[in-house]
């Protein structure tokens, strides 16, 4: 299992990286390499050139804006995991991070690498879809944006244009105080790639009812699904697991689930409902706690 | 001379091998780098079955750095076929496929290049023209009327079909008031050590020796390789000093060694093949058993089982080396720890288009134990009796040992009741049941798992002659030589490779005990295979018994020599001559004595002081034959399979998430009796490691194939191994029933834990499902399948009141 | 391709193919064979080394990418020949290994854990090592070794147990 031969460049700047990408046939961006290198080792990917962006400073940042948190594409997953701004303003991303592989791959893996490689089971992809993140990418000198909903088309496939470099991900930061998130997944083994994952972020009103909700489920279909109708149906309700189980099951009834050797479609649908319910319950509980903390601070 | 004698055996002494491993200074096969060494990559068949129409090597050969490219015809012209385990002479197999490939992953072409990366580049350039053939993956389909024949020359997919009738089964069934029959499946998993198999070969034409460094635990590796390559038997030298990165029975790699040995001779350069993980999983030929059991038991109202019928169909894969004999090994413990009077055992080995098997931990006993324990649970369920009680009613009692079971094997010793009582008391069985019921009341599915199983140890290879009449080997040896050098240093030898079992510590401890010297002062040497005494290797949970036994005997012989020298020099009668901690003295006048250095000096330097005709120097060797072994099976298949029988009793509580089907262990107690424990830390570690493997086999490890017959679990991303999160805290309670057959009363522990855990987990899951009226009769019990089973059962239960039917 | 690596505190200038992984470079070029290869696709963790003090899989990093980081291998933990670090000694005290193949990765992972968290709970230890697969031990004696090393570091006591 040795990768096919390739050329290697480690440009200092984004501009230089983009210039190399647009000038070379078959060049690919590498950052942490945690998704790409296994594929290269099995020769399922064989780029002619790797453009290493891991150390380009302008790709590694976490920036807070009024209505968003923007994360540089080469920001390492362990950095995101430990970041306070993300914990408060994009709690779902924070909550999902401990589930992303073992710590040893989070130490090197980047957010952009996870998104660009779009593994069907990747937690970060699910969070991006659930929250409606915007991907910024650059080809030559041109910057473009893609919404997460349209970005992931199939396992391992994105609409990232050829010769482009993903530069940043913009996660909407909800204005409501007291956000909460929940993330549940199951795999064959406790810390394996998940078979199914559910992500939820909630803002509650003063009465503890859902005011804004985002829900997503991964592993049920070929790409993560954002469950907008369900989110809408929950507005104005209490999201305790006992209260919402039926609505969740109903919402998932319409989904045509994957059915393969790992799990039947029926299993996926049922288990997804359970995970979504639990994620919502956790999110609501976390939001209530965050809300109380916020009140105390005032 | 009455100082307390230090206790070495059964004390938690440090394991001497650990120092080098903790420092990263083990010497594994991949660490061996010889000057000018070349590297092998393999072209594997991408089809489940295919005729090889043509092979074009030109592009690969043209790549700079490529040394040679060979195919099956090249190799077959120069070598004997690989040995079959079963008596199937028309099933022919070489390391590289000849004419046709019979499973996806079978090696077709080998490429040798200056680096492994170049070899892989070149392997991609080899153009093989395949004509895909019909294939079969399922064992029952393979023996059905329409199954394509894997080996047309053999004429059938049945490689073995043998019935063994032990006792009067028909009579016992007729006399019993109850019977129950069921079918079980043991899915195909594998030992999968973290180190793949590797071998380095280097040919020295001037000395006429082919040197092999291999991560092999195979018995008689050098002999076999030499025979297949057509070399003189001592023309191959295996270096036993290589540290093996995990074995569990399957690190054999005969085909690898033959291929690499051939290439090293062909090229005149050292050649290395270290499987990558893909090669290891698809073409390493080291999968574990895959079995279908049809079991029927006859029993009375109290749950006492009189007789059992068991049919085991093993899907052995495309070829069958010695691994296929694993169908025979469990005959030596076919009734487990129970007093079942008669057994009909029907063993069927079926060839299919899957990766071949290699022997695996317990040699088929783990699946058999699973079947026996499910039978006990079934009996209890049918009668509404407590499962522990039914077991206790059937157990062989302590006073019945040695106990000969229906299949002709005599169990050496045991006190199964005592072990079980110990566990029940520690776990507080009634409270455990109450806890389960409380969890159930909370809406969880909770179950208690119980397994009382045997772990045979000592390994005498009796399953060879039993299943293959062409085999007559009943000698199964292990050796040790102990030498005291002219300066008084002690060295003991090991003549096989080790894969983490702590053999150096074992030998040093035992030599230290016998000679009453500090084990840490005992040097260990591992002669290569040419210099070695006979060894059948670290298989069959035999090294504590056999290597330990050989070391003890050699050390005792040496001690006797020291005493003889002392008696002569001190001029005391032998019965008055005593030995303690290296000092020989007159028991009546302890001040008359010779200390260690005196004795060594006399033996090595002062021939005039030795007894007349005494062999000078201080060296003793012992070649040990496995106790109780040596006889061929009788015509009806009765045989002594192993000498020693360890016992383990598992009692565990788990829950299954009713919505997700995810099992979670709550409590786990194990009672373990493997006789005298030489090193408690080693035995505990092996047992816990065996349990971890058992968890994998019971819950998620399975090598599966897609509809095209290609591996669906081709890498460790798809085939997951248990991590630290998957193994709960487990309490092991020790009990010691000495074996009368061994040096210190020790028995085998190499497969401990693994032999009982799958059965116990299955019992727990089925107990958890029982309130739903469901059962799961296959391993692994995958979470998703459990989830589906629970959902169906709940739906039925929910539908009942409506009376939809 | 020319690359300068910092391995166990020493600068090493090497010429490697870009496709050579860090683990192959450590083993085949630098002769540091304490780092082991188990799967080459990031699943088993046997090749774990420390990159700037943090565990990472050396099969998922090309050597050319490793430039500028402080790489620590198992060989970097023993400063005196023949003397084990306290953590390594704890692994020997509980017999936290059998075949020794995953052991360097386990020890490096534990080393990083204890550097960050001198008093880890059992759950924290389990979580930390869950990325390294051991096929021999069932992990219990590894967890015990790490807890023992932590305990000894807090209250250094002579002797073993």
The 10s digit of each residue's pLDDT in A150-180 is 999 999 999 999 999 999 999 999 999 889 9
Mark yes or no for CB contact A190/B723 under 8 Å. yes
- Are C101 and B692 an interchain contact pair (Cβ–Cβ within 8 Å)? no
Largest interatomic CA distance in chain A: 61
Q: pLDDT > 90: what percent of chain B?
A: 94
Strand, coil or helix: B520: helix
Please state the rounded mean pLDDT for residues A271-287.
95
Q: Average pLDDT for residues A39-67, to the nearest whole number?
A: 97
The answer to whether domain B291-462+632-797 and domain B477-624 are alike in fold is yes
A6 and C18 within 8 Å at the Cβ level: the answer is yes
Residues of chain A found within 8 Å of residue B720, distances taken between Cβ atoms: 187-189, 192
C77: chain B residues, CB-CB within 8 Å: 23
B25 interfacial to chain A (CB closer than 8 Å): no
What share of chain C in percent tops pLDDT 90? 91
Asked if A8 and C64 count as a contact pair (C-beta separation under 8 A), the reply is yes
pLDDT tens digits along B138-156: 999 999 998 899 999 999 9
Kindly indicate whether the domain formed by B291-462+632-797 is annotated with CATH number 3.30.365.10: yes
Candidates A116, A96, A92; CA nearest to A106 is A96
Question: What are B460's two structure tokens?
Answer: 């005498």
Q: Do A52 and C40 touch (CB under 8 A)?
A: no
What is d(CA B415, CA B424) in angstroms, rounded to the nearest whole number? Answer: 15
> What pLDDT shows up at residue B26?
97
Kindly state whether C37 is in contact with chain B, defined as any CB-CB distance less than 8 angstroms: yes
Q: Do B788 and A266 touch (CB under 8 A)?
A: yes
CA distance to partner chain A, nearest, from residue B277 (Å): 8
- B219 has pLDDT over 80: no
C-alpha distances in Å from residue A292, one per residue of A179, A281, B59, B110: 11, 17, 71, 68
Residues of A with CB under 8 A from a CB of C: 1-8, 10, 30, 33-34, 37-38, 41-42, 50, 52, 54-55, 78, 101-105, 107-108, 190-191
Q: Do A261 and B725 touch (CB under 8 A)?
A: no
Q: What's the pLDDT tens digit per position in B411-445?
A: 999 999 999 999 999 999 999 999 999 999 999 99
Q: What is the DSSP string of chain A?
A: --PPP-EEE--SSHHHHHHHHHHSTTEEEESS-TTHHHHHHTTS---SEEEE-TT-GGGS-EEE-SSEEEEETT-BHHHHHT-HHHHHHSHHHHHHGGGSS-HHHHTT-BHHHHHHHT-TT-HHHHHHHHHT-EEEEEETTEEEEEEHHHHEEETTEE-PPTT-EEEEEEEE---SSSEEEEEEEEESSTTSSEEEEEEEEEEE-TTS-EEEEEEEEESSSSS-EE-HHHHHHHTTS---HHHHHHHHHHHHHTS----SSS--HHHHHHHHHHHHHHHHHHHHHHHHHHHHHHHHH-
CA dihedral B262, B265, B269, B270 (to 10 degrees): 50
What is d(CA C1, CA A147) in angstroms, rounded to the nearest whole number?
39
Nearest to B288 by CA among B366, B194, B183, B374: B366
Nearest to B749 by CA among B565, B583, B506, B522: B506
In this complex, do C135 and B246 lie within 8 Å of one another by their Cβ atoms?
A: yes
Residues A2, B122: contact at Cβ < 8 Å? Answer: no
Using the 8-state DSSP alphabet, how is residue B708 labeled?
A: T
pLDDT score at C161? 44
Q: Between chains, do B30 and C103 touch, taking CB under 8 Å as contact?
A: no
With tokens 């008359």, the residue in question is B592
B803 pLDDT more than 80: no
DSSP β-ladder status, B618-625 and B477-484: antiparallel
How sure is the predictor about B800, in pLDDT bands with cuts at 50, 70 and 90? Answer: very low
Share of chain A above pLDDT 70, in %: 98
For chain B, what is the mean pLDDT? 96
Cβ contact, residue pair B501, C98, below 8 Å = yes
For the domain made up of B37-133+197-274, the CATH class stated in words is alpha beta
Encode pLDDT of B280-314 as tens digits: 999 999 999 999 999 999 999 999 999 999 999 99
Of A22-26, A36-40, B7-11, B680-684, which range is least confident? B7-11
Percentage of chain C lying above the pLDDT 70 cut? 96
| pLDDT at position A241 | 77
Contact residues, chain B, for A191 at CB < 8 Å: 723, 725
Q: For all residues of chain A together, what is the average pLDDT? A: 93
pLDDT band at A295 (very low <50, low <70, confident <90, very high): very low
- Residue A190's pLDDT is 67
pLDDT of residue B804: 32
Is residue C142 less than 8 Å (CB to CB) from chain B?
A: yes
- Tell me if chain B has a CB within 8 Å of the CB of A267: yes
Across residues C48-65, what is the average pLDDT?
98
Please determine, for residue B725, whether its predicted confidence score (pLDDT) is greater than 60.
Answer: yes
And the tokens for A196? 């199914």
In this predicted structure, the answer to whether residue B801 has a pLDDT above a threshold of 70 is no
Tell me the domain boundaries of chain B.
37-133+197-274, 291-462+632-797, 477-624
All domains of chain C in start order, with CATH = 2-76 (3.10.20.30), 86-154 (1.10.150.120)
Using pLDDT thresholds of 50, 70 and 90, give the confidence band for residue B797. Answer: confident
Judge: domain B477-624, CATH 3.30.365.10: yes
Query: Which residues, in sequence order, are CB contacts of B523 under 8 Å at separation 6+?
Result: B489, B490, B491, B492
B603: Cβ–Cβ under 8 A, 6 or more apart, which residues?
B484, B561, B562, B565, B610, B616, B617, B618
* pLDDT tens readout for residues B498-514: 999 999 999 999 999 99
pLDDT (average), residues B740-744: 97
| Contact residues, chain C, for A107 at CB < 8 Å | 51, 54-56
Query: Hey, how many other C-beta atoms are within 10 angstroms of the C-beta on B397?
Result: 13
- The first and second tokens of residue B618, run together, are 């201080």
Distance CA A82, CA A103 (A): 12
Kindly list the residues from chain B whose CB atom is less than 8 angstroms away from the CB atom of residue C110.
none
Residue B445 is inside which H or E element, if any? strand B445-457
Query: How far is C5 from C66, CA to CA, in rounded Å?
Result: 7
C56–chain A Cβ distance below 8 A for any pair: yes
Burial label, C83 (beta-carbon count in 10 A; 0-12, 13-18, 19+): exposed
Average pLDDT over residues B360-385: 97
Q: Where are the alpha helices (DSSP H) in B312-386?
A: 365-383
End-to-end CA distance of chain B: 87
- Chain C nearest C-alpha distance from B281 (Å): 10
Residue B195 predicted with pLDDT over 60: yes
- Judged by a CB distance cut-off of 8 A, whether residue A266 touches chain B is yes
The pLDDT value recorded for residue A294 is 64
pTM: 0.97
Q: Within the 657-696 window of chain B, which residues sit less than 8 Å (CB to CB) from chain A?
A: 659-662
Q: Is A16 exposed, middle or buried (0-12, 13-18, 19+ CB in 10 A)?
A: middle
As a whole number, mean pLDDT of residues B192-200 equals 98
Interface test with B, best of A1, A185, A278 (most B CBs within 10 A): A1
- Which of the four pLDDT bands, split at 50, 70 and 90, describes residue C157? low
B700 vs A: CB within 8 A: yes
- Which of C72, C131, C132 to mutate to probe the A interface, most A CBs <10 Å? C131
- Give the other-Cβ count within 10 Å of A179's Cβ: 25
Contacts of B207 (CB under 8 A, 6+ apart): none
What is the spatial distance between Cα A149 and Cα A32, in angstroms, rounded to a whole number?
Answer: 24
pLDDT computed for residue B2 by the predictor: 55
Question: Using one digit for the tens of pLDDT, what is the confidence trace for B574-616?
Answer: 999 999 999 999 999 999 999 999 999 999 999 999 999 999 9
Which has the minimum average pLDDT: A209-223, B75-89, B458-472? B458-472
pLDDT reported for residue A78: 96
- Give the chain A residue nearest C124 (alpha carbons): A103
3-class DSSP state of B641: coil
Residue identified by tokens 């691994």 is: B323
Does residue C36 belong to the interface with chain A, where contact is any CB pair within 8 Å?
Answer: no
- What's the CA gap between B362 and B751, in Å, rounded? 5
pLDDT of residue C156 exceeding 80: no
């Amino acid at each position: 299992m040795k990768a096919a031969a390739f050329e290697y460049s480690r440009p200092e700047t984004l501009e230089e990286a983009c210039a190399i990408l647009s000038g070379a046939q078959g060049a690919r961006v590498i950052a942490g390499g945690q998704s790409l290198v296994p594929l290269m080792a099995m020769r399922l990917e064989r780029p002619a050139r790797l453009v290493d962006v891991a150390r380009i400073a302008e790709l590694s940042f976490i920036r807070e804006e009024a209505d968003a948190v923007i994360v540089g594409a080469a920001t390492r997953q362990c950095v995101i995991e430990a970041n306070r701004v993300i914990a408060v303003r994009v709690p779902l991303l924070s909550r999902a991070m401990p589930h992303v592989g073992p710590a040893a791959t989070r130490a090197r893996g980047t957010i952009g690498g996870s998104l660009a490689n779009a593994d069907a089971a990747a937690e970060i992809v699910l969070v991006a879809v659930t929250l409606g993140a915007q991907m910024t990418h650059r080809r030559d000198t041109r910057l473009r944006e893609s919404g997460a909903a349209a970005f992931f088309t199939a396992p391992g496939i994105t609409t990232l244009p050829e010769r482009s470099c993903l530069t940043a991900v913009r996660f909407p930061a909800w204005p409501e105080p007291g956000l909460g998130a929940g993330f549940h997944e199951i795999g064959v083994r406790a810390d394996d790639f998940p078979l199914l994952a559910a992500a939820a972020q909630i803002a509650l009103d003063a009465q503890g009812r859902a005011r804004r909700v985002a829900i997503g489920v991964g592993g049920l279909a070929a790409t993560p699904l954002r469950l907008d109708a369900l989110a809408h149906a929950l507005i104005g309700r209490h999201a305790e697991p006992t209260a919402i189980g039926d609505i969740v099951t109903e919402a998932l009834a319409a989904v045509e689930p994957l059915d393969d050797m790992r799990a039947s479609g029926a299993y996926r649908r049922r288990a997804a409902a359970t995970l979504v319910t639990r994620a919502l319950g956790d999110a609501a509980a976390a939001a209530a706690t965050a809300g109380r903390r916020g009140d105390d601070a005032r | 001379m009455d100082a307390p004698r230090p206790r070495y055996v059964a004390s938690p002494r440090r394991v001497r091998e650990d120092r080098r491993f903790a420092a990263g200074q083990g010497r594994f096969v991949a660490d061996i780098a010889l000057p000018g060494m070349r590297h092998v990559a393999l072209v594997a068949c991408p089809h489940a079955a295919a005729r090889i129409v043509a092979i074009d090597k030109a592009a690969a050969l043209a790549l700079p750095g490529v040394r040679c490219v060979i195919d099956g015809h090249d190799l077959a012209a120069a070598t004997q076929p690989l040995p079959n385990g079963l008596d199937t002479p028309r099933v022919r197999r070489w390391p590289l496929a000849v004419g046709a490939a019979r499973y996806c992953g079978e090696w077709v072409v080998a490429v040798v290049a200056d680096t492994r990366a170049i070899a892989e580049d070149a392997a991609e350039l080899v153009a093989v023209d395949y004509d895909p053939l019909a294939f079969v993956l399922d064992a029952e389909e393979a023996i059905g009327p329409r199954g394509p024949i894997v080996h047309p020359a053999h004429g059938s997919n049945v490689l073995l079909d043998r019935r063994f009738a032990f006792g009067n089964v028909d009579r016992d069934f007729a006399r019993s008031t109850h019977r129950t029959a069921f079918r079980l499946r043991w899915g195909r998993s594998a030992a999968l050590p973290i180190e793949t198999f590797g071998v380095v070969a280097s040919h020295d034409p001037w000395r006429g020796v082919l040197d092999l460094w291999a991560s092999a635990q195979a018995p008689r590796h050098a002999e076999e390789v030499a025979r297949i390559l057509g070399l003189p038997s001592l023309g191959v030298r295996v270096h036993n000093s290589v540290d093996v990165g995990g074995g569990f029975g399957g690190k054999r790699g005969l085909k690898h060694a033959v291929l690499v040995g051939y290439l090293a001779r062909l090229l005149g350069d050292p050649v290395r093949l270290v499987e990558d993980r893909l090669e290891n999983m698809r073409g390493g030929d080291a999968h574990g058993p895959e079995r279908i059991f049809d079991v029927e038991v006859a029993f009375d109202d109290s749950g006492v089982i009189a007789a059992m019928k068991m049919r085991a169909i093993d899907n052995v894969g495309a070829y069958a080396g010695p691994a296929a004999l694993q169908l025979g090994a469990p005959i030596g413990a076919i009734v487990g720890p129970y007093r079942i009077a008669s057994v009909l055992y029907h063993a069927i080995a079926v060839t299919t288009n899957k990766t071949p098997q290699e022997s695996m931990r317990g040699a088929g006993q783990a699946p058999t134990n699973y079947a026996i324990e499910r039978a006990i649970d079934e009996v209890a369920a049918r009668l509404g009796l407590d499962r522990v009680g039914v077991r206790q009613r059937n157990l062989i009692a302590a006073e019945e040992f040695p106990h000969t079971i229906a299949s002709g094997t005599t169990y050496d010793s045991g006190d199964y009741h005592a072990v079980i009582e110990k566990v029940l008391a520690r776990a507080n069985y009634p409270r455990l049941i109450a806890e389960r019921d409380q969890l159930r009341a909370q809406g969880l599915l909770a179950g208690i798992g119980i397994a009382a199983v045997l772990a045979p140890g000592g390994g005498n290879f009796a399953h060879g002659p039993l299943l293959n009449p062409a085999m007559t080997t009943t000698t199964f040896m292990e050796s040790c030589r102990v030498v005291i050098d002219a300066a008084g240093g002690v060295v003991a030898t090991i003549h096989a490779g080790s894969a983490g079992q702590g053999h150096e510590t074992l030998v040093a401890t035992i030599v230290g005990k016998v000679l009453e010297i500090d084990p840490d002062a005992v040097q260990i040497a591992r002669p290569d295979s040419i210099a070695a005494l006979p060894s059948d290797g670290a298989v069959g949970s035999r090294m504590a018994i056999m290597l330990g036994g050989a070391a003890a005997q050699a050390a005792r012989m040496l001690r006797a020599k020291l005493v003889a020298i002392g008696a002569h020099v001190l001029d005391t009668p032998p019965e008055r001559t005593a030995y303690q901690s290296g000092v020989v003295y007159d028991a009546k006048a302890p001040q008359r004595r010779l200390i260690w250095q005196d004795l060594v000096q006399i033996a090595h330097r002062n021939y005039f002081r030795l007894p007349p005709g005494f062999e000078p120097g201080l060296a003793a060797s012992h070649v040990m034959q496995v106790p109780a072994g040596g006889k061929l099976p009788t015509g009806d298949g009765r045989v002594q399979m192993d000498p020693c029988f360890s016992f383990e009793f598992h009692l565990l509580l788990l829950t299954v998430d009713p919505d997700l089907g995810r099992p979670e262990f709550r409590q786990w107690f194990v009672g373990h009796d493997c006789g005298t424990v030489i090193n408690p830390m080693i035995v505990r570690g092996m047992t816990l490691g065996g349990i971890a493997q058992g968890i994998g086999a019971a819950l998620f490890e399975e090598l599966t194939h897609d509809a095209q017959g290609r591996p669906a679990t081709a890498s460790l991303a798809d085939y997951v191994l248990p991590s630290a999160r998957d193994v709960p805290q487990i309490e092991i309670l020790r009990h010691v029933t000495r074996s009368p057959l061994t040096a210190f009363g020790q028995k085998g522990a190499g497969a401990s834990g693994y032999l009982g855990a799958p059965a116990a987990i299955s019992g727990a899951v089925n107990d958890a499902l029982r309130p739903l009226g469901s059962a799961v009769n296959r391993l692994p019990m995958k979470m998703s399948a459990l989830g589906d089973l629970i959902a169906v059962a709940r739906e039925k239960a929910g539908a009942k009141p409506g009376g939809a039917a | 391709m020319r690359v300068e690596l910092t391995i166990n505190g020493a600068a090493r200038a090497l010429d490697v193919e870009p496709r050579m992984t860090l683990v192959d470079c450590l083993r085949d070029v630098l002769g540091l064979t304490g780092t082991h290869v188990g799967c080459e696709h990031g699943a088993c963790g046997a090749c774990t080394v420390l990159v700037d003090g943090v565990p990472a899989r050396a099969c998922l990093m090309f050597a050319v990418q490793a430039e500028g980081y402080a790489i620590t291998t198992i060989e970097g933990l023993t400063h005196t020949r023949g003397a084990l670090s306290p953590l390594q000694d704890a692994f020997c005290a509980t017999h936290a290994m059998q075949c020794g193949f995953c052991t360097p990765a386990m020890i490096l992972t534990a080393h990083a854990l204890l550097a960050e968290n001198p008093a880890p709970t059992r759950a924290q230890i389990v979580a930390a090592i869950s990325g390294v697969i051991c096929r021999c031990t069932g992990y219990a004696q590894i967890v015990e070794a790490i807890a023992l090393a932590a305990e000894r570091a807090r209250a250094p006591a002579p002797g073993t147990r």
